[in-house]
Structure 1
Amino acid sequence: MIEIEPGIYYSELYPGPTLGAIVLPSGIVFIDAPLRPEDGDIWKSNVLNRSHGAMQKLLVNLDSHPDRTIGSKAMLCNTLAQQKAAEKLYNRTSVFRGQLPESGSDWEKYPETNGIRWSPPNMTYTEKIELHWGGPSVFVEHHPGPCPGASWVIIPERKVAFVGDTVLQNAPPFLANAHLPTWIESLDTLNSDFKNFTIISGRGGAVPHLLINKQLKSLKKLIKRIDRLAKKNAPPEAVSDLASALLDDFSPENKERETHLQRLRYGLYQYYLKHYVSDEELQEE
């Protein structure tokens, strides 16, 4: 567990996303949950040991991705998510069944997650919510792009922002539920409004601002490549074949290369279907 500023922590010790915690005089804000319930117990205990008896606890789901929401129930506290993320979580079955095709997600490497009971959020917001538990104010803001219900947790006074999958370090993006033009707008916001902030990625921990610019370039390049294929009326399978050519832009020389390649293949295929293939074309197929 790494302390960024007094009372603000992140951890990459557990399977799943980068975790965050903000310890305030009157409570603790947890940011995302470990995949496995037993890891959730350990993480929560470690943070509580630094909280000096703070009683109130809140978990923020930065989006609806299973990697960061499967373990929410084990955190045993109120859960907050942006409204669109919450709607997606409400529509899932009460028990997690890992029956999706290989999407390059972390949960796919842990079969013990199959059968875990979901705990959907019991609190939602639309654009922004401010938390006052003593100490610095904490804002949870809607910043879509990686998915419609993506959130950031921002502590302006301490110049720290947890941005989920908006920026990824040494890993390719999840594209299946993304909207690339909106994602680029969110990255532009990071560049313009958060220059002096410590940025915590939801997959990779603290990231340099140079990485934001690199990801901007990579996403713009990706849009051009997809647009080029769309103009040729290429089938979705042709777009997923772009994965090998694009992988080094996001995940060079990484030990998770095969998983990341599958993530891009799956994401490109789904993205193209949703944004470039009409309902009529799908019916013809």
Structure 2
Amino acid sequence: MKEIAPDIFVETRYPPYNLGLIVLDEGAIVIDVPPRPSHARSWLREVQQQAGHIAYVVLTDAQPDRLIGAVQWEVPIIAAEETARRLNELRQDREPWEELLLAARERYPEEASALHILEPRRAKLATNQRLLIHCQEPPLVAESVTGAAPGSLWFFVPAKSILFAGDCVTFNTPPLLEHTPSIQLWTKMLATLAQRRPVQRVVPGRGTDVILRGELETQREFFRVVQRTAVQLASQHVPGEGLSHAITDIQQIFFPTISKNSPAMQRLRRGLTYLVQTETSSKQLLEIGDKMISAQE
């Protein structure tokens, strides 16, 4: 665990995402919990040794890994309203929850028994805009945003000018693209963050532990390139033709150090494939609409 400012820590040893810790007199605030039970227990021990009492766990989006991670601790949850709604739905309908646990047990078969007993829990605090937490002055801020997945949430520590961005920001590794509600709105959100002067440093959800706000430009340029590439590939005579070549080109430009068969490369491949499929579907719907209008005329 690395201390990036007094009483602010980042942990990068428990995949698949970065974790955070904010130590306060009233109790610690933890940013995310890893999905693997042994990692969740290790993270809990680290936090307790460093901070003692834990006041809240912040859930930075509603991806399955984060949902499974958060319920492993008996600690109140702070989440975006959409994430809180998802947790409530999982409490009411067991089948989707069992499907999430089954996928986790397949990834971590040696920890199947610990996963089998997990139960979804309600969020204690939820917001669809901004939530001020008056543990210090100025207050901490949880902010609902459009990002990598439904229920994305930032957590800002104004006294230290540090923003925990979850998977809304990644650095030196491809972002998750296949779960985003809107890459266009996500791109606008990054532009807004890039201009937010009170934020000096950002803790990405994946990759490097902390970056300067100005370094967001790398991800913004990546978004411009992948969106332009997706439009071009969707416009091919055979939609998606040339996808493999495009993925290789983007990897060599933005992520030259990741290996061909690594999880990061697979994430890039899934993401660009998703964007091409989305663009192709949109193009087909527009063509159908044009045909219907022409027929009416």
Query: Do the structures match in fold with TM over 0.5?
Result: yes
Q: CA deviation at 1:130?
A: 1.0
SS in 2 for 1:80: strand
- Cα deviation for residue 110 of structure 1 reads 4.0
Is residue 272 of structure 2 the alignment partner of residue 268 of structure 1? yes
Distance 1:273 1:160, change over 3 A: same
Deviation of 1:279 after TM superposition, in Å, equals 11
Contact in 2 for aligned 1:166/1:201 (Cα 8 Å): yes
Q: 1:42 — aligned with what?
A: 42
The answer (yes or no) to whether the contact 1:25–1:135 under 8 Å persists in 2 is no
* Contact 2:132/2:142 (8 A) holds in 1: yes
C-alpha change, 1:135 and 1:3, in structure 2 (3 Å) is farther
Q: Contact between 2:32 and 2:59, CA under 8 Å: does it hold in 1?
A: yes
Counterpart of 1:177 in structure 2 is: 179
**Cα deviation 1:55-77 (Å, max 9, x = unaligned):** x5211111112333322122211
1:2-151 maps to which residues of 2 (within 5 A)? 2-51=2-51, 53-54=52-53, 57-92=55-90, 93-95=96-98, 96-97=100-101, 99=103, 110-112=108-110, 115-116=115-116, 117=118, 119-123=120-124, 124-134=126-136, 136-151=138-153
Verify the 8 A CA contact 1:195 1:209 in the aligned structure 2: no
Alpha-carbon RMSD: 3.0
State the one-letter code of the partner of 1:180.
I
Label 1:157 to 1:119 Cα distance change in 2 as closer, same or farther (>3 A): same
Shift of 1:150: 1.1
**1:221 equivalenced with 2:225 (yes/no):** yes
Residue 277 in structure 1 maps to residue 281 in structure 2 = yes
**Structure 2 portions without partners, runs of 5+:** 91-95, 286-297
Cα displacement (A) at 1:109: 5.7
Q: Which has the larger radius of gyration?
A: 2
Instruction: Show the counterpart of 1:243.
Output: 247
Distance in structure 1 (CA, Å) of the matches to 2:254 and 2:81:
29
* 8 Å contact from structure 2 (residues 231, 276) kept in 1: no
1:104 alignment counterpart: none
Contact 2:226 2:272 in 1 (8 A): no
Question: Match of 1:176, SS?
Answer: coil
CA shift at 1:195, angstroms?
6.7
Task: Give the Cα–Cα distance (whole angstroms) in 1 for the partners of residues 172 and 252 of structure 2.
Answer: 9
**3-state SS, counterpart of residue 142 of structure 2:** strand
Q: 1:216 to 1:46 in 2, by over 3 A?
A: same
Where relative contact order (Cα < 8 A, 6+ residues apart) is larger, the structure is: 1
Matched-pair contact (CA < 8 Å) for 1:83–1:149: yes
User: Hey, what does 2:236 align to over in structure 1?
Assistant: 232
- Cα contact 1:40–1:74 (8 A) shared by 2: yes
Measure, in 2, the Cα distance between the counterparts of 1:261 and 1:186. 25
Q: Normalising to structure 1: TM-score of the pair?
A: 0.83
Letter in 1 for 2:239: P
Residues matched between the structures, number: 274
TM superposition shift of 1:129: 0.6
Q: 2:267 aligns to what SS in structure 1?
A: helix
Distance 1:132 1:209, change over 3 A: closer
Deviates more, 1:233-242 or 1:253-262: 233-242
Q: Aligned partners of 2:240, 2:106: CA distance in 1, in Å?
A: 23
| Aligned twin of 1:254 | 258
Q: How does 1:167-206 map to 2 (within 5 A)?
A: 167-178=169-180, 179-194=182-197, 197-204=200-207, 205-206=209-210
Given residue 130 of structure 2, which amino acid in structure 1 is its aligned partner? K
